[in-house]
Amino acid sequence: MPYEKLPIGGAKNEILSWANHEFSIEEQSMLRNVSRLPCLFKHVALMPDAHLGKGSMVGSVVATKEAMIPATVGVDIGCGMMAVKTPFKSGILDGKLKELRLKIEEAIPVGFNAYQESVDESSYWDGWKDFNELHQGVRDRKAKAMKQLGTLGGGNHFIEVCLDTENAVWLMLHSGSRNIGKELAERHITTAKSLWRLNELPAPDLAYFIQGTAEFAAYWKDLKWAQTYAMKNREIMMTRLLRVFTRCSIIVRSFVRNSRSTAITTTSRWKSTMAKKFSSRARAQSTRPRVCTASSPARWARNRSSCKGVAWLRVSTRVRTGRDERCRVARPSELLAKLISRGKRKVSNVVKTKACWMKFPALTKTSSR
């Protein structure tokens, strides 16, 4: 995709734009300020959706040398998207969109709303063991953070049932680290501002931490925690969204393929390039767990290399293991939901469906005897 070098007067480093729209005077001033930062690495890059933000442009990539700018990372730490491709075409939604929307709104709180009590996935999340090590100013926010884990929020966050170019149905959502991420960011931005005199920076919101300082280490630790919280938030919502979708719209049948994709739109990492360390914003990640079908287990046995680390699970109320033990398994409406939360794990259950055989990550079994 072509880009252009923006001719902004007073800019100290290059500003490269992949956007196809003009920028306002205020936006140009913001870009000029960022380009004059002494910690900037090479240039500023603008993505197609770049627009006005706090300190720097939303939709910009600002790499820095041995420094981190909290306001540039943003107040919605870990903001990103998650999508699941279903095996169904648009016809499965005919006459069911209103019901589906209402059920989604019942299952997932939106805006400033939260759960009355934290959901199980939140209560048992491992991240809470590190909560008391976060910034002192947020340590009394744990109860609120637990109730908000698995909620959408407001602003540009959304849940969407959409179609691709082949008319396949996708479930998609966009959210971040909720209020706890915002409060962590604001406290570290305030700390960063206190370390600089106003005449030492192009703009107060561009105050930054220098690598090797205690303030830098504290922000980096809290940043990683908030990013993990944001990812868990999306996983819980997607699990609930899949459950609503399967109950409201479909009966699970020959499941040809399921794909999960995630993208983190606001994140920070360290990399080493030419012996220089720098942080980078707006990195994308994607994962696609394999879920396949075959006419019989024997067919898969002949191609064992293609199905390592997966299991056969029946979309039913019964499972047969290799030792011929009868066990219960989650209802079909919960099957896809558990797929999202389990990821790729090695298991050994073997079962059969009416229409086809399917590979899924293992579900927790409970003896029926």
pLDDT, position 264: 62
Pairing of strands 311-312, 293-294: unpaired
pLDDT, position 249: 57
* pLDDT value at 159 more than 50: yes
Q: Residue 199 — very low, low, confident or very high, per pLDDT cuts 50/70/90? A: confident
Q: Residue 259 — very low, low, confident or very high, per pLDDT cuts 50/70/90? A: low
How far apart are alpha carbons 281 and 61 in whole angstroms? 5
Q: Residue 295 — very low, low, confident or very high, per pLDDT cuts 50/70/90? A: very low
Q: Residue 139 — very low, low, confident or very high, per pLDDT cuts 50/70/90? A: very high
pLDDT, position 94: 87
The domain spans of the chain are: 4-65, 80-264, 293-367
* pLDDT value at 122 more than 80: yes
pTM over 0.85: no
281 versus 73: the higher-pLDDT residue is 73
80-264 CATH, one of 3.40.50.1820, 4.10.320.10, 3.90.1860.10, 3.30.365.10? 3.90.1860.10
pLDDT, position 140: 95
Pairing of strands 276-280, 269-273: antiparallel
Task: Answer whether 121's CB lies under 8 Å from 233's CB.
Answer: no
- Percent of the chain topping pLDDT 90: 57
Arithmetic mean of pLDDT, 346-360: 36
Arithmetic mean of pLDDT, 53-73: 91
pLDDT, position 349: 38
pLDDT, position 260: 59
Positive or negative, the CA dihedral 242, 248, 249, 251 is: positive
* pLDDT value at 205 more than 80: yes
